[in-house]
Amino acid sequence: MPPYKPGDKCATCNLTRCACTICRSCGLRVPRKNTCDKCHICASHHDGYYPKDFPHRRCDYVPNTANMVAGLAPTTYIINPLHRTIGVEIELGTFASIAHNHSNQWIIWDMHRDGSVSGSGQELVTGRMRGDQYIFGMSHLVRGLISGASQVNETCGYHVHVDAAELSPMDLRRVMVAFQLIQPSLYGTLVSAKRATGSWGKLYCPKLSNDIAMLMSMEDKNSFINWLHQWLYQVALPDKQDYIGADSLYKETLRNIDAQLKEYKGTKYMNRARRWALNLHSWMMRGTLEFRLKEGTLDPGDLIMWPLWCAWFVDKFSKASDKDIHYFLKKGLSVASATEFMCDGPLSMPNYVANWVKSK
């Protein structure tokens, strides 16, 4: 980047007092309209998602080098070809001593307080994992937890965070509708039936119960974005068409909404926003979709395969078309048909995950 002195014209916009942003990725001066206003990355290095659609969400941008994820060590993709990252929260009544080691050769984790878990009052939260790093690291961790005489009880859950930061609003809508369609089939197969009928499941991970036909009728992203804010937080985003020529008023409105959301933090209302079987509040704030419906378990197959199934579900249904979703609306979506759909195509879910599903 050339050294700029006071009074020099900007080589990008040809103005002396320019409003260009220096891209944090490539270091070049870029007009502000062509950069993300949260992470200051230019459009050529920012993968499709622009947080201006969701002004309350933190922007963890995904570099255009699609095979790499910022902040993670290199890994292979031979056993697990999916590049999407996964994080898990394991709630147990008693943890083996390995839980307090905080890392193994492949992955890291921390212990966090969780007052809803009887016994330990804790949960184990891993960092982001991807590819074969997930397979090796989780296998080693699970073996240590089981051999170390950990114990599970009915207050425990198993939560999975799937990175979905790059999803567009319409991608998110398709995943949400597909998940609501498959919910009845999940309970009693991949998830314990008690999580649907028991008081614990109803409190901490109730089923989604939105009007699917209404959601599928939304053909523009702004309608869905506004509905999502209304559903989660009972706030309405202003329509930009109503603020033409008054950008400062629009920004002031957004700041007021942001302040309103911050007031909810730490309250039961905010818990309600995130306590669904599929947690979209997590996506709004940190770019991950959290699957909360699974019961706590020490079954090694469930501990390793369930997060993989969730990640492939997000990957395949976010890339599906509305035509695909309408087909499942008509024919129904079961665990079996969803798994078949996820095993189709050039980048498909591995057979070992599908075989685990069949065993359930």
Cβ pair 123, 111 in contact under 8 A: yes
Nearest 5°: the CA angle 236, 241, 244 is: 120
Instruction: Report long-range pairs for 199-204 (Cβ below 8 Å, ≥24 apart).
Output: 200/154, 200/155, 201/293, 201/295, 203/275, 204/116, 204/157, 204/275, 204/292
Indicate whether 63 pLDDT > 60.
Answer: no
Cβ pair 111, 99 in contact under 8 A: yes
pLDDT in tens, 70-128: 567 789 999 999 999 999 999 999 999 999 999 999 999 999 999 889 999 999 999 99
Sheet of strand 86-91, all strands in order from the earlier edge strand to the far edge = 109-113, 122-126, 86-91, 157-163, 288-295, 278-279
Helix (H) / strand (E) containing 91: strand 86-91
Q: Is 345 left (phi over 0), alpha (psi -120 to 50) or beta?
A: left
Backbone angles phi, psi at 50, to 5 degrees: -120, 115
Domain ranges of the chain: 86-208+276-359
Please give the Cα distance from 189 to 43 (Å, whole number).
Answer: 43
- Enumerate residues 6+ apart whose C-beta is below 8 A from 146: 96, 298, 300
Closest listed residue to residue 277, CA positions, set 292, 294, 297: 292
pLDDT in tens, 238-265: 665 655 555 556 566 667 666 766 676 6
Task: Name the β-bridge partners of 91.
Answer: 123
Report pLDDT for 68: 40
> CB-based burial of residue 341 (10 Å sphere; 0-12 exposed, 13-18 middle, 19+ buried)?
buried
Task: Name the β-bridge partners of 94.
Answer: 151
In the three-class reduction of DSSP (H, G, I as helix; E, B as strand; rest coil), residue 119 is classed as coil
Report pLDDT for 187: 96
Q: Above pLDDT 70, what percent of the chain?
A: 75
Report pLDDT for 323: 95
Report pLDDT for 110: 94
| Chain-centre distance for alpha carbon 307 | 12
> CB-based burial of residue 161 (10 Å sphere; 0-12 exposed, 13-18 middle, 19+ buried)?
buried
